[in-house]
Amino acid sequence: MPTNQEIAKRLKDEREKLSLTLQKVAKLMGFDNYQILSNIESGKRKIEAWELVRLSRIYHRDFNYFLEEILTPQSEPRIIWRAKSERN
């Protein structure tokens, strides 16, 4: 499971991809001010499950996108050879 910081970064990235402001999304979320969302995106405040569900809807993303592990590719391809069989 990704860390709080990784989830926060994904949320911010998605908001910015959609060209949405903190103020606009905070209003859609029903927050009193945009600082709550800013604190979530910076990792200063943990996100509640209901908030993540609502944000995933606003950003048109599957809820699991924010919770999936980020797989990093290996730096170099690797080839593993089996030993030659004596039977051929």
pLDDT digits 0-9 by tens, 66-79: 988 765 555 566 67
* pLDDT of the residue at 2: 82
As a dihedral over the C-alpha atoms of residue 43, residue 46, residue 49, residue 71, rounded to 10 degrees, the angle is: 40
Q: For residue 36, what are its two tokens? A: 């709550």
- Which of the pair, 12 or 1, is modelled with greater confidence? 12
* pLDDT of the residue at 14: 96
Mean pLDDT of 42-69: 93
Mean pLDDT of 34-53: 95
Mean pLDDT of 29-50: 95
CA distance 73 to 56: 26
* pLDDT of the residue at 10: 95
